[in-house]
Amino acid sequence: MRECFIEFRNVSFRYGDEQPWVLDDVSFTIYKDEWVAIIGHNGSGKSTIAKLMNGLLFPQKGEIIINGIPVNEQTVWDVRKQVGMVFQNPDNQFVGTTVQDDVAFGMENRGFAREEMVNRIDEVLQAVRMEDYLLTEPHRLSGGQKQRVAIASLLAINPEVLILDEATAMLDPKGRKEIMRTVSEIQEKNEISLITITHDLEEVVQAERVIVMNSGKVWAEATPRDIFKQKDDLRKIGLDVPFVAVLADELKQLDIMIKNEPLNHDELLEELWTLHSKM
């Protein structure tokens, strides 16, 4: 049994007394070292979940427990030491005047000694392959590079969990690939839980588990493969199904038997060329 790290117990949240519930009786658990993707279309409450995990918002009903600590006004700073968060807009979370200053910001807040900061900066910038940009100013970086710096600055404070709240939404496809590659490398090398929040189904394939949100409720919770099987239902709640999954569906309709639901091009290719193989 894996160690439970984040637990949502019957959490409900709304932004004001007269407002509708953004989250309605949501419960789920996220384990240590797990990669969970949370997907949902705009307004499904997925970003609110991220903010609740970091104590940026507090629920009206229910309880959130992070690493054994219930999140409330008193424990919020302890929780933030363990939960690192990358936001959507690359520009609006870059505090420092240079890459090195920005990576240091989180460590400065936590009172790290200077020598330690210098060492960690080198280390984490290498982890996101940005070591050549130590003294570069933010306006000379691309969006993807800024997001990688944001990830580095979180790694510097050794969080237990990394949340990417639509961190790739404002990037071009190249930047998106960079980020996804960076986070999967980090997840492999470190004992860290990873939560990626997105509305793009392409980004959930690498996750171990997917939580699908729809109008404030957990709509489904399964492996990416099982989620992709429910294409029509996914479309109904406003999510775009990846091209590979659609193609596999079309092939099935032509009586080409594909046993496994393919997640990417390679898997589909594998299925197709072994189609008549009896091995």
Partner 1 sequence: MNNAIVIGQYVPGNSLIHRLDPRMKITIIFFFVIVVFFANNIISYSILTIFAILTTLSTRISLRFILKGLTPVWFLIAFTFILHLIVTKEGTVLFDVFGYKVYSGALIQGFAISLRFFLLILITSLLTLTTTPIEITDAVEDLLHPLKKIKFPVHELALMMSISLRFIPTLLQETDKISKAQASRGVDFRTGPIKERLHAIVPLLVPLFVSAFKRAEELAMAMEARGYQGGEGRTRLRQLKIKGLDILVFLFFLAVVAALFWTRNY
| Contact range with partner 1 by CB under 8 A, out of 14-22, 32-40, 66-74, 113-121 | 113-121
Distance, in Å, from the CA atom of 233 to the CA atom of 239, rounded to the nearest integer, reads: 9
Contact stretch for partner 1 (CB under 8 A) within 38-46, 90-98, 169-177, 243-251: 90-98
- If binding is defined by CB under 8 A, does position 135 make contact with partner 1? no
Q: Using the rule CB under 8 A, which residue among 4, 65, 69, 95 binds partner 1? A: 95
**Residue 81 interacts with partner 1 (CB under 8 A)?**
yes
The reply on whether position 108 binds partner 1 by CB under 8 A is yes
Give the pair of three-digit tokens for residue 42: 């705009």
CA 267 to mean position of chain CA atoms: 23
Q: Quick check: 42 binds partner 1 (CB under 8 A)? A: no
Give me the sheet containing 217-222, strands edge to edge.
83-86, 161-165, 193-198, 35-39, 209-214, 217-222
Q: Does 107 bind partner 1 (CB under 8 A)?
A: yes
Residue 119 CB, shortest distance to partner 1, in Å, is: 12
- Smallest distance from the beta carbon of 214 to partner 1, in angstroms? 25
Q: Site for partner 1 (CB under 8 A): which residue of 105, 131, 158, 249?
A: 105
Range in contact with partner 1 (rule: CB under 8 A) among 73-81, 187-195, 198-206, 235-243: 73-81
Nearer to partner 1 by Cβ, of 92 and 253: the residue is: 92
Q: Is 54 near partner 1 (CB under 8 A)?
A: yes
Between CA 16 and CA 19, with CA 17 as vertex, the angle to 5 degrees is: 60
The residue among 11 and 167 lying less far from partner 1, judged by its C-beta, is 167
- Residue 112 binding partner 1, by CB under 8 A: yes
Q: Is 113 in the site for partner 1 (CB under 8 A)?
A: yes
Least Å distance, CB 193 to partner 1, is 16
In the complex with partner 1, which residue's Cβ is closer, 94 or 228? 94
How would you label 80-91 residue by residue, b for 16+ Cβ within 10 Å and e otherwise? bebbbbbbbebe
153 makes contact with partner 1 (CB under 8 A): yes
- By CB under 8 A, which span of 58-66, 93-101, 196-204, 218-226 interacts with partner 1? 93-101
CB of 111 vs partner 1, minimal distance in Å? 5
* Cβ pair 245, 73 in contact under 8 A: no
List interacting residues with partner 1 (CB under 8 A). Answer: 54, 56, 77, 80-81, 84-85, 87, 89, 91-97, 100-101, 104-114, 117-118, 121, 137-140, 153-154, 157
